């Protein structure tokens, strides 16, 4: 157990740069805006920041379609701005992680522009190209996450190219060793610049089945998960062949070998597969990824039994790996809105942060989570997300969790533009940073207190986890490290709950600031709405 590694037990604050702070008035946040607010981020008590893509891009998928891996898009600033950001973050004691989108590029990338010109140029085999079937249809039945077939016809080559996401995001051919080498060289560019870690987008999508076999159909009753509602045909298949291929393991080991040359630089892989927990366990080892996270706690199912089952499932499979947990990010509806479907009241936002920060592993907190921001209602005419535009109105896309940060109560919420790229809802201005900063009882200050306190609890940072039987809506578990045991209990409802401690469990009150504290009364635990208990076990 190497608790000295900074990323073990770390709280990583995700910054979506286009929505953080706009310093030049163009409606889009930028790197200088992040620099301006790093003192605020440090005040939260987090250990690191993860910055979503800021690389040169046509922005068809808002930076996840990269045209140049080694340069900053002008809308975000310059490489010099990034170097200043890195220096200031390090001076504040914050590590810096950046997104790396390795599985695909933009159609505007120089590699793709060359590859599409002919079947015999130096980059001809750098992307996934395939001939049409005799009737002109795509080579197999693979589907895009964003809807429709995963193949796009290219008349220059008279072939189809693969895109697991948008048609403007062609998949690289990782079966080609030159692609792997060039990808690792791009990663090295940023490691040489001094970044402390990489968040690896869709890391299990790097390889495809070289035989291009059809994916098998999925029964209607199983068409669920991560926004894949029955109206999205992507849910109609088991995705056995278009991602999560065995060849990916060797590439991850090569990537890890590169990272190991840079001291304590780390990797955090985003994993979404048919069995994401099993894939996490396979990918997160001492020779592959340092950390991994999936979408299991980013769903709408928020029962105590579901949380317990998810964590226990991963624990049973991950023998020597280190998980990372998240309940919010830039791809899903905000947690306060999702979890409030079972009832909400004061203390929910604080409880959610405390809960995810009490599980074994590291944590990703998404900007605005500390404010208790709800999902924004973005009207159709203001939508930017192509995913939401395609599936409106049943699925409204990802814009509702990407609206700009509310820094104050002014008309533009202190974002820096009268015409931000997405509208800022009035409900968010009412939860702005300046207002909450001045209120000691606010979610913001509660989160600060809890994160500072968590740093004093080694068992919560690094200890083992074991769950205790409890009825809904009570979630109970212990964290244990070097003989120190902590009891952690949450009431995942908006109503008070009484729960008798199991026989033989002797709990001593332990102050945990920043949450609605429970009360011990003659062996009975009295949990207020969205309440929690943190106690030492005798």
pTM for this predicted structure:
0.97
Mean pLDDT within 179-183: 98
Long-range contacts of 53-58 (CB under 8 A, 24+ apart): 53/99, 53/101, 54/17, 54/82, 54/98, 57/106, 57/108, 58/106, 58/107, 58/108, 58/168
For 291-310, the pLDDT digits (tens) are 999 889 998 878 999 999 99
| pLDDT at 314 exceeding the cut of 80 | yes
At 228 the pLDDT is: 52
Catalytic residue among 47, 65, 171, 201: 201
Per the annotation, the verdict on 83 as an active-site residue is no
Q: pLDDT tens across 112-151, in order?
A: 999 999 999 999 999 999 999 999 999 999 999 998 999 9
Is pLDDT larger for residue 345 or for residue 476?
476
pLDDT class of 514 with cuts at 50, 70, 90: confident
pLDDT digits (tens, 9 = 90+) for 195-253: 999 999 999 999 999 999 999 999 988 887 555 555 789 999 999 999 999 999 999 99
Euclidean distance between CA atoms 27 and 422, whole angstroms: 8
The pLDDT score that the predictor gives to residue 191 is 98
pLDDT (tens digit, 9 = 90+) per residue, 11-26? 999 999 999 999 999 9
Helix (H, G, I), strand (E, B) or coil at 466: strand
As a whole number, mean pLDDT of residues 58-72 equals 98
**93's tokens:** 């004691």
376 neighbors 398 (Cβ within 8 angstroms): no
Non-local CB neighbours of 522 within 8 Å, separated by 6+ positions: none
Instruction: Please tell me which residue, 320 or 127, carries the higher pLDDT value.
Output: 127
- The set of residues, in sequence order, having a beta carbon less than 8 Å from that of 287 and lying 6+ positions away, is 253, 256
Question: What pLDDT, on a 0 to 100 scale, did the predictor assign at position 1?
Answer: 45
Catalytic residue list contains 264: no
And the tokens for 378? 């973005």
Q: 334-355: per-residue pLDDT in tens? A: 999 999 877 777 899 999 999 9
- Mean pLDDT over the full length of the chain: 94
Show the domains of the chain with their CATH numbers. 11-104+177-454 (3.20.20.80), 463-537 (2.60.40.1180)
**Would the pLDDT of 312 be above 50?**
yes
Whether the predicted pLDDT of 3 surpasses 80: no
What would the mean pLDDT of 145-164 be, rounded to a whole number? Answer: 97
Pairing of strands 362-366, 11-15: parallel
What is the CA angle 329-334-339, rounded to 5?
Answer: 120
Lowest mean pLDDT among 38-42, 101-105, 217-221, 311-315: 217-221
What letters, b where the CB count within 10 A reaches 16 and e where it falls short, cover 115-146? bbeeeeeebbbbbbbeeeeeeeebbbbbbbbb
pLDDT in tens, 386-401: 999 998 988 899 999 9
Task: Residue 405: name the closest of 370, 441, 355 by CA.
Answer: 370
Reported as a single tens digit per residue, the pLDDT across 452-466 is: 999 999 999 999 999
Which pLDDT belongs to residue 225?
58
Which is the catalytic residue, given 47, 73, 270, 369?
270
């Amino acid at each position: 157990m190497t608790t000295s590694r900074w990323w073990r037990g770390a709280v990583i604050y995700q910054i979506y740069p286009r929505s953080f702070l706009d310093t030049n008035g163009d409606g889009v946040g930028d790197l200088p805006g992040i620099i301006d607010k790093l003192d605020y981020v440090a005040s939260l008590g987090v250990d690191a920041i993860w910055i979503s893509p800021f690389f040169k891009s046509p922005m068809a998928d808002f930076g996840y379609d990269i045209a140049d891996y080694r340069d900053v898009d002008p809308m975000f600033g310059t490489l010099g701005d990034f170097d200043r950001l890195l220096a200031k973050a390090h001076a504040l004691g914050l590590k810096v992680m950046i997104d790396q989108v390795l599985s695909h590029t933009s159609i505007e990338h120089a590699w793709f522009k060359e590859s599409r010109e002919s079947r015999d140029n130096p980059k001809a085999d750098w992307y996934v190209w395939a001939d049409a079937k005799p009737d002109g249809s795509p080579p197999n039945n693979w589907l895009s996450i964003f809807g429709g077939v995963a193949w796009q016809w290219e008349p220059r080559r008279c072939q189809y190219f693969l895109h697991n996401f948008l048609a403007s995001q062609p998949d690289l051919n990782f079966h080609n060793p030159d692609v792997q080498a060039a990808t690792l060289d791009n990663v090295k560019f940023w490691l040489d610049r001094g970044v402390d870690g990489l968040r690896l987008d869709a890391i299990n999508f790097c390889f495809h089945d070289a035989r291009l076999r059809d994916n098998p159909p999925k029964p209607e009753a199983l068409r669920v998960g991560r926004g894949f509602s029955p109206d999205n045909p992507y849910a109609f298949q088991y995705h056995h062949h278009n991602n999560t291929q065995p060849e990916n393991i060797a590439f991850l080991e090569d990537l890890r070998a590169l990272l190991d040359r840079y001291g304590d630089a780390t990797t955090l892989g985003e994993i979404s597969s048919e069995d994401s927990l099993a894939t996490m366990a396979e990918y997160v080892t001492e020779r592959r990824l340092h950390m991994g996270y999936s979408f299991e706690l980013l769903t709408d199912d928020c029962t105590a039994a579901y949380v317990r089952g998810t964590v226990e499932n991963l624990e049973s499979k991950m023998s020597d790996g280190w998980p990372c947990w998240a309940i919010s990010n830039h791809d899903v509806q905000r947690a306060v809105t999702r979890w409030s479907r079972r009832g909400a009241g004061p203390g929910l936002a604080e409880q959610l942060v405390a809960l995810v920060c009490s599980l074994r592993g590291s944590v990703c907190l998404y900007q605005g989570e500390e404010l208790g921001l709800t999902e924004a209602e973005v009207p159709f005419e203001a939508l930017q997300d192509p995913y939401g535009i395609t599936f409106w109105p049943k699925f409204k896309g990802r814009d509702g969790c990407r609206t700009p940060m509310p820094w104050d109560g002014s008309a533009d919420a202190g974002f820096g533009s009268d015409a931000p790229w997405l509208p800022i809802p009035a409900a968010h201005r009412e939860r702005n940073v300046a207002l909450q900063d001045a209120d000691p009882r606010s979610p913001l200050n509660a989160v600060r207190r809890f994160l500072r306190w968590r740093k004093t609890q080694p068992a919560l940072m690094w200890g083992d986890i074991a769950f205790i039987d409890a009825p809904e809506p009570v979630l109970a578990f212990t964290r244990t490290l070097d003989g120190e045991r902590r009891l952690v209990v949450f009431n995942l409802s908006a109503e008070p709950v009484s729960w008798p401690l199991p026989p033989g469990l002797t709990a001593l009150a332990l102050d945990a600031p920043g949450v609605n504290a429970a009360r011990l009364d003659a062996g009975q635990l009295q949990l207020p709405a969205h309440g929690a208990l943190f106690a030492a076990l005798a």
